[in-house]
Chains A and B, each alone.
Chain A
Amino acid sequence: MMPEKTTSWAEERSQMRAAATNAILHLHPTRVPAAALRFAYTWGLGGMSATLATLLILTGVLLQFRYDATIEGAYTSIQLLESQVQFGALVRAVHHWSANLLVVTVFLHLLRVFFTGGFKRDRATNWVIGLILLLTVLAFNFTGYLLPWDQLAYWAATVSTSLISYIPLVGTAVSNFILGGTEIGQNTLRNFYALHVAVLPVILIAILSYHFWRIRRDGGISQPESVRQGGLRLTTIPHLVRREAAVAAALIAGILIWSMAFPAPLGELANPVLSPNPAKAAWYFLGLQELLLHMHPLAAMSLVSIVLVGLVLLPRWDRHAGDIGVYFRSRRGRIAAIVGAVLGLQIVPILVIVDEFWLDWAVLFPNQPAFVVDGLLPLALTLLGLATIYGGLRRLLRADHSEALVGLFTFVMVSLVMLTAVGVYFRGANMVLLWPW
């Protein structure tokens, strides 16, 4: 039986187009300021992160069909995936490289939003949501890192979970809870797997949806007041959508080509008897691991917590809203950022080298307990240094509060990058400082 009324091909096509338009306009407003479309404003970083998250979900689902979450089977199932399964190596490589690149793009996205004042006023909530998303991404990477059950995975997880046990009072209980026992084993693998494929995806999708919705509710991405008042506005379709599609397509193509050229690494089977030398955490945690060479674990974790709390409270701390949408706030803010970056580039390597070869707190303060000498003292000095940088920018550069914070933030972020670089490239066997080439 033929249906009573047949719709023509052209009509069907226009209906589909209307549905697609409807979906896009749920996400985006109908019109956007022409200035907001400039690539050099957003660098497409939020869109890239969303694209990578999509790639990760798709490849992650595929990997689940082939992965065996037992300590006997995990490593073998990855080997089979790499050698026997059609396109298995490609799927895993795309998942691996997308996950690594996602850490980079969300970090750069955070920088972009900070430097354009995208956390101020109404966008304060979405700034905090973004920070939660950053931590979610790190949790994804951390849990996923263990799953191949190779040497790197096993020892990186050992180092990271040992860190948790330094939290006062509850540390050991929390660590045992995450591990499902006192040491890494089958229970740990099962816990990490459940978190990685069930708990975290639900959290990510829920929070990410809210993140997108908030962008629209807060009036689109941050723009200077002048642009918001007047200025040319273009329709979202096709101007914004076309740009987004171009960035996503280029990124996917790049990831595919890269993944074909460089398969995801797989070390030797996890061996609880033998720590590799050096035993390093995943690269995005190497900044923290480097910090641990210089401070008591509790001091290092306190420092990280202080920076995180500072980022969360940033919208309350910097209420100056006149400079929203302007990179680095102003000319002076730009100079403050350069000063912060140069200081970070210089001070961090100098301190690392001084601490490695000459500085010995225990000799300078022989009668103090290790916690004070190794923990409180370096922590206090670091915080004093940060305060000095802020004060110096205010006084010498005559920067206002908002501009001085730009310098301070830049210093902290560049320092983090430098610590990570030292951990990745300049630490050899026995974690000795060495020149990599």
Chain B
Amino acid sequence: MMESEQTEQTTPGQISRRNFLKMGMGALGAAALLELGGAGLLYLQPRETADAFGKVIQAGPVDSFPTGSVTEFRNGRFFLVRGQSGGFLAVYRRCPHLGCNVNWLPEENHFHCPCHAARFDEFGDLESPPVPRPLDTFPVVIQDGQVTVDTSRRQQREQFAPEQLAYAA
């Protein structure tokens, strides 16, 4: 074996046949591993479930929500907030900190997360750290006196602003 290696003449800068084949095998092996890894990831990737969350929800007539009220829609996973000005805001109930559901405490006038004691005001704006941002919202549309909320389009925000409220036209 040693002799045959010695007979292989290579000039500097050239690759011997043996090394070329070794490199080729290595490259093929790496390609195979990549393919297997990629195929594995694709095989295990998140699956869409048929009853995935998110659709347009008919919340009800505008007049059924008094100003300064917070109404929970459990299956829709949001709170419909109507401010003193009469504007609507749909607040997603999932705490942006670690994913627990916030509770509305009417006597204290704020949302409270049971996992890490985070507090949010009635518009979902954060009051205490360590939460990174206010509660997310869903777009509210008011047509012909009916309030609809689209829970398939979740919106993140940096802080609360009055423009986020939706009003009856």
Task: Count A-B pairs with CB separation below 8 Å.
Answer: 90
Task: Flag if B98 contacts A158 (CB, 8 Å).
Answer: yes
Q: For A289, what are the chain B residues with a Cβ–Cβ distance below 8 Å?
A: 115-116
B: number of interface residues (CB 8 Å): 27
Asked if B38 is at the interface of the complex by the 8 Å CB criterion, the answer is no
Q: Is the interface of B mostly helix, strand, loop or mixed?
A: loop
Q: Which residue of B lies closest to A272 (CB)?
A: B101
Task: Flag if A277 contacts B130 (CB, 8 Å).
Answer: no
Task: Flag if B49 contacts A374 (CB, 8 Å).
Answer: no
How far in angstroms is the closest Cβ of chain A from B150? Answer: 17
Which one of A108-116, A201-209, A294-302 contacts B? A294-302
Task: Flag if B98 contacts A187 (CB, 8 Å).
Answer: no
Asked if B117 is at the interface of the complex by the 8 Å CB criterion, the answer is yes
Q: For B97, what are the chain A residues with a Cβ–Cβ distance below 8 Å?
A: 162, 297
Asked if A429 is at the interface of the complex by the 8 Å CB criterion, the answer is yes
Q: Which residue of A lies closest to B51 (CB)?
A: A185
Asked if B7 is at the interface of the complex by the 8 Å CB criterion, the answer is no
Residue among B44, B46, B48, B132 making CB contact with A296, cutoff 8 Å? B132
Asked if B45 is at the interface of the complex by the 8 Å CB criterion, the answer is yes
Q: For B132, what are the chain A residues with a Cβ–Cβ distance below 8 Å?
A: 296-297, 370-371
Task: Flag if B45 contacts A163 (CB, 8 Å).
Answer: no
Asked if A155 is at the interface of the complex by the 8 Å CB criterion, the answer is yes
How far in angstroms is the closest Cβ of chain A from B83? Answer: 25
Asked if B129 is at the interface of the complex by the 8 Å CB criterion, the answer is yes
Q: Which residue of B lies closest to A156 (CB)?
A: B115
Asked if A14 is at the interface of the complex by the 8 Å CB criterion, the answer is no
Which one of A124-132, A142-150, A176-184, A317-325 contacts B? A176-184
Residue among A179, A182, A277, A293 making CB contact with B114, cutoff 8 Å? A277
Q: A370-407 toward B: CB 8 Å interface, digit per residue (1/0)?
A: 11011000000000000000000000000000000000
Q: For B101, what are the chain A residues with a Cβ–Cβ distance below 8 Å?
A: 273-275
Task: Flag if A181 contacts B47 (CB, 8 Å).
Answer: yes
A: number of interface residues (CB 8 Å): 41
Q: Which residue of A lies closest to B45 (CB)?
A: A177
Known A-B contacts A374-B129, A374-B130; the reply to A293 vs B117 at CB < 8 A is: yes
Please report which residues of chain B, range 40-62, place their CB below 8 angstroms from some CB of chain A when the two chains form the complex: 41, 44-49, 52-53
Asked if A159 is at the interface of the complex by the 8 Å CB criterion, the answer is yes
Known A-B contacts A159-B115, A279-B115; the reply to A181 vs B99 at CB < 8 A is: no
Task: Flag if A297 contacts B130 (CB, 8 Å).
Answer: yes
Asked if B74 is at the interface of the complex by the 8 Å CB criterion, the answer is yes
Most buried by B among A182, A273, A279, A289: A279
Known A-B contacts A181-B46, A186-B49, A273-B74; the reply to A432 vs B117 at CB < 8 A is: yes
| Cα of A296 to Cα of B99 in the assembled complex, Å | 15
Q: For A176, what are the chain B residues with a Cβ–Cβ distance below 8 Å?
A: 46
Please report which residues of chain A, range 421-437, place their CB below 8 angstroms from some CB of chain B when the two chains form the complex: 429-432
| Cα of A371 to Cα of B75 in the assembled complex, Å | 33
Residues of A at under 8 Å CB distance from B?
155, 158-159, 161-163, 176-177, 179-183, 185-187, 191, 273-279, 289, 292-297, 361-362, 370-371, 373-374, 429-432
